[in-house]
Structure 1
Amino acid sequence: MGPVILSALIAVALSIAMAGAWAIARKPGRSGWTDVIWSYAIGVAGVVVALAPIDGPPGKRQWLVAVLVGGWSLRLGTHIALRTKGAHDDPRYAELRHEWGDRFDRRLFGFLQIQAIAAWLLSASILVAARNPAPAFGLSDGAGAAILLAAVIGEAVADAQLSSFRTNPANRRRVCDQGLWGLSRHPNYFFEWLGWVAYAVIAVGPDGRFGWGWLALSGPAFMYWLLVHVSGIPPLEAHMLRSRGEAFRATQRRIRAFWPIPKSRTEEDRP
């Protein structure tokens, strides 16, 4: 099986997976499952493209990449599933349901197919990382694995801190600014982005001789655009402004949206 056929099959499979997510999310209160399905779908797709016998049996680097993407997907998908179980609509999708009105079903289908395309594009980063022909395991493999591990741990810590904050009834109308949430308003998104940097490091390698490896830089670039400018921070912060008002505006002044770098006093004082 060549890479073109493999890529086409992955695209069809991801499209079908997100069509299934659409069938579930049409019903109120179940939109959170779309992120569960997306996380698991891209994990399965990543393992398949990493281990597919394109040019012989999978080697050590291919197994490393498969383990990395499989572990990331399992952790993230399971966390979202546990959070979604018994919960109300994800606030982002609830807003879309309100905004789109009678056109919600039709527009949601297109929206989720765009997510399928995004997953397919991201799988390209995994594919070229796994296919770097340089001898395994090099410095870049270790660095990539370390970055991915740090990203998974960081995101898990951020999720646990937010969950702990929310379980306290006294925090019902407050904004979480504890732990990692005191450094970034969305540390979970930052670590999600960081994980895709790992595949770029493995794909490019220590000397950059694998030309196709540079394609993996599109993964973190694309994920940054999605999280910071499209489907991540903008709709979530719009919801937070509606539900928390001035408390969240104060958080915006004190804490950066994405990068976990403390603001200077001058930056905090800016309007």
Structure 2
Amino acid sequence: MSGAMQLLWVGVIMVVIMTLGWAWQRRRRNAGIVDVLWAGGLGVAAILMAVTGSGAALPRLLLALMGGVWSWRLTAHLWRRVSGESEDGRYRQLRAHWQNSQAKFYLFFQAQALLVLLFALPFMAVACNPVNDVTVWTALGVLIWLASVALESLADRQLATFRADPTQHGRTCRSGLWRYSRHPNYFFEWLHWLSYVALAVGSPIGWLAWSGPLVMYVFLRWISGIPHTEAQALRTRGDDYRAYQQSTSMLFPWFPRSGASRTSS
């Protein structure tokens, strides 16, 4: 199947999925479902690209396994939060700003469908890689994937444990990986996209794989990730989060600056 047809199929599937998701949030007033569907949709895209790609068997198999497992883990994690909690503060703020306009929410959900298409480009690059041998790049891609997915999962668990402790309500997690980065989950999510860059080495469109880490960094750093998350943290945690901002690296893990607490404070 050609790349254009692959993207068309992904686009059609995502429009349907996001329309159903929009209807779900309309009934339950919880737009957080869009994150769940975005993560799950990328797993669908990875598997579809792997099955219909023109490349060798090895990179396509690795793509299906790596893209599918990464998506399943993130989708399950996000679903537990969305199904078990009230609407995330970021979306409550958006709902108030839009005065609960369902037309705007529908366009928002469909914009996420378009983003799945954009992030499917690295998968397409891997799926048409003709190199069927285990190379240094193959090994590097798998190692990056293993490390990033494991550490993102660890960061998510550490934060979930912290949030589940009622004595920590209104305070900022500074333990574990959160001592070295204000957003370790975002960092390892970004790092994960470099694994497909390595797997795409040898592909005639291997350069497209760079769209994953580049676009993800832009979105996390300036558009939908860190700016909205930190604005919500400042609204709910105030001075405690301002102190955390001053002592802790924003994205890339590094040692805390002078005065940073070693535990939750």
TM-score range, shorter chain: over 0.9
2:134 paired residue among 137, 147, 157 = 137
Q: Which residue of 1 aligns with 2:224?
A: 231
1:69-84 pair list within 5 angstroms: 69-84=67-82
Choose 20-29 or 37-46, whichever is displaced more.
20-29
Q: Which residue of 1 aligns with 2:35?
A: 35
Cα deviation digits, residues 234-265 of structure 1 (max 9, x gap): 11111110110000000000111111122544
1:32-181 pair list within 5 angstroms: 32-52=32-52, 54=54, 59-102=57-100, 104-181=101-178
Counterpart AA for 2:221: V
Contact 1:28 1:89 (C-alpha < 8 Å) held by counterparts: no
**Once the 2 structures are TM-superposed, how far is the Cα of residue 30 of structure 1 from its aligned partner?**
2.4
Alpha-carbon separation, structure 2, partners of 1:164 and 1:29: 26
Counterpart AA for 1:18: M
Q: Where in structure 1 do 4 or more consecutive aligned residues deviate above 3 Å?
A: 263-266
**Once the 2 structures are TM-superposed, how far is the Cα of residue 71 of structure 1 from its aligned partner?**
0.4
**Once the 2 structures are TM-superposed, how far is the Cα of residue 28 of structure 1 from its aligned partner?**
4.7
Say if 2:179 is the partner of 1:186.
Answer: no
> How many percent of aligned residue pairs carry the same amino acid?
37
Counterpart AA for 2:237: R
Counterpart AA for 1:176: C
Equivalent pairs counted in the alignment come to 259
TM superposition score normalised by structure 2: 0.92
**Once the 2 structures are TM-superposed, how far is the Cα of residue 198 of structure 1 from its aligned partner?**
0.6
Q: Which residue of 2 aligns with 1:197?
A: 194
Cα deviation digits, residues 23-47 of structure 1 (max 9, x gap): 1122454222221111111101111
**Once the 2 structures are TM-superposed, how far is the Cα of residue 228 of structure 1 from its aligned partner?**
1.4
Counterpart AA for 1:256: S
1:260 paired residue among 253, 256, 262 = 253
Counterpart AA for 1:220: P
Segments of structure 2 that go 5 or more residues without pairing to the other structure are: 260-265
Cα gap change, 1:25/1:64 in structure 2, threshold over 3 Å: closer, same or farther?
Answer: same
Alpha-carbon separation, structure 2, partners of 1:204 and 1:216: 9
